Chains A and B, each alone.
Chain A
Amino acid sequence: MHQTSRWAKTSVTLGLAVPFALMSGFAGAQELTIGSKIEPGTLDPHYRNSGENHSHLPAMMEYLMWRDADLNVQPHLITELRKIDDVTYEASLREGVVFHDGSTFDAADVAYVVERIPAIPEGLGDFIGFIDEIDRVEIVDAHRVVFHLTEPVADLARNLSSVMALPSELGLDVSPAQFDSGEAVIGTGPYRLESFTPGQGLVLSRFDEYWGAAPDFETVTIQPISNDASRVAALMGGEVDLIDFVPLADAARLREDADIAVFEAPESRLMFAMMDSIRDDSPYVRGADGEPLAENPLRNPAVRRALSLAIDRGLLIDRVLEGAGTPAAQALSPEVACTSADLAVPDYDPDAARALLAEAGYPEGFGITLHGPSDRYPGGERVVQALAQFWSQIGLDVEVETFTRSVFFDRARANEYSIYFAGYGATTTFNVLNAIAHTNDPDLGRGAANRGRYSNPAVDEMIVAASRETDAETRCAMTARINDMVFGQDVGIIPLYHPLNSWAARTDAGVTYAPNPEGLTWLRGASLSAQ
């Protein structure tokens, strides 16, 4: 299992090979062992839409389109997606792509995938949302298809960037067991599956007929190590070359190790404080004297702005998160498309916050209970404590209550809190806003993560309009404007920070990692560096 790639070790025994290999930039037979916190439950690429599967499966089974490091959608197996009208798109497929079983990737395979996803009897139906509007796939020729939609879709290309291709020869009856045995794991990716043992990980080998650039590694072992301390120990002991989800507390120590490098990237996720600004009588708000208040102070934008100004985001990230975050001013960090150029991270200003509270009629502050999940986000419980302290400083009487996540989100959805800490991650600015800033409306299917019930009809209208807009640029401008309304004008949601994800690799084995904003441990991010 772990004839791991202590590359340095093996090559020392080879003696002469060392200088040669160094010169050639670590060319030749190479092994990589990844110690990953997560592991796919099943290898069916259309079963669960989860980080586990999106991390480790695309090395074998490729997406129809893919998202780059800036989250923009790029051609992949589909080389071009042309819009004919609102409900018709023509796609050209890459030629010369072969599956691991030697068959050619063609139009029938695209049609097959669209047909297969809703036909899987088990599971959550996680992937149906990506192709739900595709009415039928018309095969024009071997490398051209036309997607006929039932209704206009804002971003079909992005939807297809989450869908992995399989050969149509598998048929609709392919069973879960066939995937787990590896028999049906047939993709077009740079690696093919050698073996999969649940709990013990995956072994992959290079696929020599891959259409793209040949990957650096001949064999790759993905070893699940869910315990944080063990994962770090395995890297330090040289048993693995690359780990993901470096624990906050260990990142600094690993950085000091000359043989180890830490790679990090801000995640496309917003951590925020959500406030109940629609109910007159909110369950966890009380007067400074502990008596019920006549009205809910969180309905007042000045109060919400005061709460935001009271937070020293720099200090929070530095001390509580050990640097693993970037301060947030809006839905996603400004490098991501469709964010607003006009929003700056609010300056820490407790005096202004106190003044705002006094103006709003709460010179003595008021009492509030802050809720948060205890085990969902790295450092989350401490962030909740820190927020409570910041708000105490401006005269609020803050109590803190945290729950395990299964309980926490259940209660959040039932609207049981007045103010809570949580996060939301998505691959576009629009998707974040649609989930957290639109009024919670299960029938419309919007505002799924707006569990604190922020609601502004003007924002809702804009979100709906943007979702129907198929021109990318106009949609982008509208999205930026929604950011301004939610975070600038209303302070309907307090933006806190974007978490940083980190990976660590053994530089003495020549391994480097190009991190991505989705926090996925993608094999295509791992490479050998010429030292």
Chain B
Amino acid sequence: MVRFILFRLIQGIGLMFVIAALVFFAVFLIGDPVELLINPEATQQDRQRAIERLGLDLPLWQQFLTYLGGLLQGDVGTSWVYNRPALEVMLERMPATLELAIGAVLLSALVGIPLGLYAGYRPNTYLSRGIMTGSIVGFSLPTFWVGIVFIVVFAVELDWFPVIGRGDTVEVFGVSTSLLTLDGLHHAALPILTLALSRISLVMRLVRSGTQEILGQDYVTLARAKGVPERRILWRHVLPNLMIPLVTVLGLDFAGLLAFAIVTETIFSWPGMGKLIIDSIFSLDRPMIVAYLICVAALFVIANLIVDVLYGVLDPRISVADRGRG
């Protein structure tokens, strides 16, 4: 197990270097950052000075080597807009995104699993059909539209929820969160719901089809023949077997939520990483963009690793170590 984890970590670090190189050159191709950073009223001398100060007058390979040197020492560069280490700016925004993602995953599991179980167990009732139809609506609606509609209906018309920001936050182990204050939860409700909507549908459909498949298995028939109560069959036999595909999907989705909650964060002015990357792309803040993408790569590597480890915990038949060598 330890060997497997180490192996994956080394693999991950290698991956991040490849990504760093790709992103560095790709961002270079997008355009001239000075054009976007400098005041339009600046004179030609001002521009030249800016180019030299940012080191953009050096040949590309030299810029890359300097950058790589910094990277090896764990320095991903200083943001040109925030005038602070890019990694620091990035980590500062992470809790806000993390709480959205955790909220959304929890909500989709808490709502999606029971509804999916029911729809799979009693597929022919009206309620089940209603649930399934609702789920189609749930994941066909685009996030940006859902977000705006939620704002118009719940915030502007009904005035139930606030539209912007995180509300009151409290510090827990040095990390600020709005999930532990009433005002914060009030602020987080709409963005979390917006993010969770399509995930709820996804979980529901996944659980429903899994339930139906498992109910047809021999061991369920045997259990029923033995007279095991239905409730015990559902909780003891069906649900644990459902967990493996579910953890895969939710685990990878969680990393996706962290990295790409961009639309939701922008609409709700949620000060997370998504909003940060959008702002940084608009101003071509290269150190910030590169730092962000490296962190996202790290997130995916870690999420994958956790999912793999959880496999082993959930299903004793799977040997994680073997997978690692293959």
CA distance A198 to B266 in the complex (A): 14
Asked whether, in the complex, the Cβ of A124 is within 8 Å of the Cβ of B37, the reply is yes
Asked whether, in the complex, the Cβ of B79 is within 8 Å of the Cβ of A41, the reply is yes
With both beta carbons as reference points, the residue of chain B lying nearest to A128 in the complex is identified as B49
A-B contact pairs, 10 of them (CB 8 A): A2-B164, A41-B82, A41-B83, A122-B83, A123-B53, A126-B42, A406-B33, A409-B32, A413-B32, A426-B41
With known contacts A177-B84, A233-B155, A239–B35 Cβ distance under 8 A: no
A200 located at the interface, meaning its Cβ lies under 8 Å from any Cβ of chain B in the complex: yes
B140 located at the interface, meaning its Cβ lies under 8 Å from any Cβ of chain A in the complex: no
Contact with A along B275-296 (1 / 0, CB 8 A): 1101100001000000000000
A236 located at the interface, meaning its Cβ lies under 8 Å from any Cβ of chain B in the complex: yes
CA distance A118 to B116 in the complex (A): 64
Residue numbers of A with Cβ under 8 A of B are 1-2, 35, 41-42, 44, 47-50, 122-126, 128-129, 132, 176-177, 180, 197-201, 223-227, 229-230, 233-234, 236-240, 404-407, 409-410, 413, 424-427, 431, 435, 441-449
Asked whether, in the complex, the Cβ of B267 is within 8 Å of the Cβ of A229, the reply is yes
Asked whether, in the complex, the Cβ of B164 is within 8 Å of the Cβ of A230, the reply is yes
Contacts of A229 in B (CB 8 A): 148, 151, 267
Asked whether, in the complex, the Cβ of B41 is within 8 Å of the Cβ of A223, the reply is no
Asked whether, in the complex, the Cβ of B83 is within 8 Å of the Cβ of A409, the reply is no
Contacts of A124 in B (CB 8 A): 34, 37-38, 46, 49-50, 53-54, 80
Contact with A along B33-73 (1 / 0, CB 8 A): 11111111111111111100110000000000000000000
B311 located at the interface, meaning its Cβ lies under 8 Å from any Cβ of chain A in the complex: no
Contact of B162 among A132, A239, A410, A447 (CB under 8 A): A239
B75 located at the interface, meaning its Cβ lies under 8 Å from any Cβ of chain A in the complex: no
Contact of A200 among B89, B162, B165 (CB under 8 A): B165
With both beta carbons as reference points, the residue of chain A lying nearest to B271 in the complex is identified as A199
Residue among B48, B155, B278, B284 having the largest count of chain A Cβ atoms under 10 Å: B155
* Chain B min CB distance to A257 (Å): 11
Contacts of B36 in A (CB 8 A): 405-406
Asked whether, in the complex, the Cβ of B44 is within 8 Å of the Cβ of A126, the reply is no
* Chain B min CB distance to A127 (Å): 9
Contacts of B78 in A (CB 8 A): 122
Interface size class of B (residues with CB under 8 A): 35 or more
Asked whether, in the complex, the Cβ of B82 is within 8 Å of the Cβ of A200, the reply is no
Residue among B34, B82, B269 having the largest count of chain A Cβ atoms under 10 Å: B269
B156 located at the interface, meaning its Cβ lies under 8 Å from any Cβ of chain A in the complex: yes
With known contacts A42-B82, A225-B164, A234-B163, A199–B31 Cβ distance under 8 A: no
* Chain B min CB distance to A100 (Å): 21
CB contacts under 8 Å to A, within B76-101, are 78-84, 89, 92-93, 96
Contacts of A44 in B (CB 8 A): 83
* Chain B min CB distance to A295 (Å): 30
With both beta carbons as reference points, the residue of chain A lying nearest to B49 in the complex is identified as A125
Asked whether, in the complex, the Cβ of B40 is within 8 Å of the Cβ of A425, the reply is yes
Contacts of A201 in B (CB 8 A): 165
CA distance A413 to B92 in the complex (A): 37
Contact of A448 among B44, B79, B167 (CB under 8 A): B44
Contact of A442 among B48, B81, B155 (CB under 8 A): B48
B315 located at the interface, meaning its Cβ lies under 8 Å from any Cβ of chain A in the complex: no
Asked whether, in the complex, the Cβ of B45 is within 8 Å of the Cβ of A407, the reply is no
B213 located at the interface, meaning its Cβ lies under 8 Å from any Cβ of chain A in the complex: no
CA distance A224 to B165 in the complex (A): 9
B170 located at the interface, meaning its Cβ lies under 8 Å from any Cβ of chain A in the complex: no
B30 located at the interface, meaning its Cβ lies under 8 Å from any Cβ of chain A in the complex: yes
Contact of A129 among B35, B42, B159, B163 (CB under 8 A): B42
Contacts of A199 in B (CB 8 A): 93, 96, 271-272, 275-276
Contacts of B79 in A (CB 8 A): 41
* Chain B min CB distance to A262 (Å): 18
Contacts of A128 in B (CB 8 A): 46, 49
Contacts of A197 in B (CB 8 A): 271
Residue among B38, B41, B271 having the largest count of chain A Cβ atoms under 10 Å: B41
CA distance A429 to B2 in the complex (A): 69
Asked whether, in the complex, the Cβ of B43 is within 8 Å of the Cβ of A424, the reply is no
B166 located at the interface, meaning its Cβ lies under 8 Å from any Cβ of chain A in the complex: yes
CA distance A448 to B166 in the complex (A): 42
Contacts of A180 in B (CB 8 A): 84
Contacts of A447 in B (CB 8 A): 44
* Chain A min CB distance to B173 (Å): 18
B168 located at the interface, meaning its Cβ lies under 8 Å from any Cβ of chain A in the complex: yes
With known contacts A226-B269, A425-B41, A446-B44, A1–B53 Cβ distance under 8 A: no
New A-B contacts (16) at CB < 8 Å, excluding given A48-B37, A443-B44: A41-B79, A49-B38, A49-B42, A50-B39, A124-B37, A125-B46, A128-B49, A129-B45, A198-B89, A198-B92, A200-B166, A230-B151, A233-B151, A425-B41, A447-B44, A448-B43
With known contacts A129-B45, A237-B156, A223–B269 Cβ distance under 8 A: yes
Contact of A237 among B38, B40, B159 (CB under 8 A): B159
